[in-house]
Chains A and B, each alone.
Chain A
Amino acid sequence: MKQVFGSNEMPNVHPDVTTALFDDDELAAVVYDTRADATHRLSAEAVSVWLFCDGRTSVAAMADELIDIFGLAPESVAADVQRALAQFWSLGLLRGSSGAEGDHSSKEATLVDRVLARPPDP
């Protein structure tokens, strides 16, 4: 697991990840990773970092932007950004991360079995 991102790194969302952003009643997102066939709901704090994962914004610039936008304390923002990025990385949501490669056939079978779960065979 990647623990620390360099201040000049420019994290980018993995191309196999699709984002559904919700910003009406709340700021949140649901992201779908095709490779792992997994969805994840991101909190407002995570989304605020996620939206800067565009491959053009450095980690240092992310922190600066969040300080400017939300008026947050600089000393805590850097740690929050690192924590969020580490989470994205561990989930395989960023380009370069290995991701949780899914076995689609077994995942599909699991889901399909849930649609009227099979009883144990005698």
Chain B
Amino acid sequence: MTHRSTVGPLRVADAWVYLHTNDESFADVLAWCFKDLARADLPAGTANTTHHFEVDHEESPWPHWTLKRDGETRQHALDEGYVLFHVQWELNQIVLERRFTTIHAAAVEVDGSCVILCGASMSGKTTLAGWMAVHGAGYVADEIVSLTDEGSALSYHRPLGLRHGGPLEPLISRPASLDNRFEAYEMVVPVSSLGGVTLTDDPLPVSAVVFPQYDPNSTPDIQPVLKSVAFDRLCSNLPGLARHHRPVFLQAEALIRRVPTFDLRISDAGIADEMLRSAVGSAPQPRGCMS
């Protein structure tokens, strides 16, 4: 009988998630990548449901990977370079299913409040969130920021998906023994591996919504953005809008009305960090100097 390894439980929204695999080296990778979702010191809370994923390596009729969620096949012919990426995608689905108002964004804690970095893929929000976390901000979330009914932001400590060559790559502390077959698309990095990072657990009031735009050839800049423009953009980054409609629209409208909104042009993460903190009223800290 094939040996199976289990990673978990991971805390994903209000669900517990277990990852099972028949590949021991992949289990090691999973355990490292998702360690920030599996911390023993997570707030107790109540998990309302449990999900099991089986992510297995098959050799016949050709080498491939399969992914099942609670016994249901989700992917039946994955290349190993993409399997980790798909596991992440599945965990995101759980958050989207379990939370009501969700924003496609990253988020960091600055001075006890949450700054939401909202934007499409490649806008620089993940790199900026990671950079700010390394320089004294708390890490709240990446890819999905959920709001409570009261409008506070909820944490989701999924690993960062980073492209090679970015400013965070030199900071990654990754065990040399980990198999690197599974990162063809991007590096999947737990934020805690960047060193000196605080993971924010408690719901936070939102202090700003920022729309980063990465352009390596641009002059860094931060400018207030009109509320209607900000709201229109926010609406295009609300996965819950299609599912829950008007209540999500109204909650997002309330958020945009009560916090400042900015456009942030990024060509350098450090400069963008300084500009953003200046705009929301906090100075960045040297790496390793935590508040």
Which residues on A are within 8 Å of B, measured CB to CB?
Answer: 18, 20, 22, 24-26, 28-30, 32, 34, 37, 39, 41, 104, 107-108, 111-112, 114-119, 121-122
Contacts and interface: CB of A to CB of B under 8 A. Distances in A.
Interface stretch (B14-22, B72-80, B172-180, B200-208): B72-80
Given A114-B121, A119-B85, A24 B249 contact: no
Given A18-B246, A18-B249, A114 B77 contact: no
Contacts of A18: 246, 249-250
A90 B139 CA distance: 44
A41 B235 CA distance: 10
B144 interface: yes
Nearest to B144: A115
Nearest to A112: B239
13 contacts: A20-B228, A30-B228, A30-B232, A30-B253, A32-B241, A32-B249, A104-B242, A108-B243, A114-B239, A115-B92, A115-B104, A115-B239, A121-B77
A34 B242 CA distance: 8
B79 A122 contact: yes
Nearest to A104: B242
Nearest to A38: B235
A108 B232 contact: no
Given A39-B232, A41-B228, 15 more contacts: A18-B246, A20-B249, A22-B231, A26-B228, A28-B228, A29-B228, A30-B228, A30-B231, A32-B235, A32-B246, A32-B249, A108-B239, A111-B242, A116-B143, A121-B77
A84 B289 CA distance: 56
Contacts of A104: 242-243
B236 interface: yes
Nearest to B79: A122
A122 B121 contact: no
B242 A114 contact: no
Contacts of B243: 104, 108
A118 B78 CA distance: 12
A60 to B, nearest CB: 29
Contacts of B249: 18, 20, 32, 39
A34 B245 contact: yes
Interface residues of B, number: 39
Interface string B136-149: 00000001100000
Interface in B165-193: 185
A39 B235 contact: yes
A107 B161 contact: no
B100 interface: no
Contacts of A32: 235, 241, 245-246, 249
B1 interface: no
A108 B96 CA distance: 11
A58 B245 CA distance: 31
A119 B79 CA distance: 11
Interface string B120-159: 1100000000000000000000011000000000000000
Interface in B220-242: 226-229, 231-232, 235-236, 238-239, 241-242
Contacts of B120: 114
Nearest to B232: A41
Contacts of A20: 228, 231, 249, 253
Contacts of B75: 121
A99 to B, nearest CB: 14
B228 A22 contact: yes
B245 A25 contact: no
B92 A25 contact: no
Top 9 nearest A-B pairs (CB, nearest first) are A28-B228, A108-B242, A122-B79, A41-B232, A22-B228, A39-B235, A20-B253, A32-B249, A111-B239
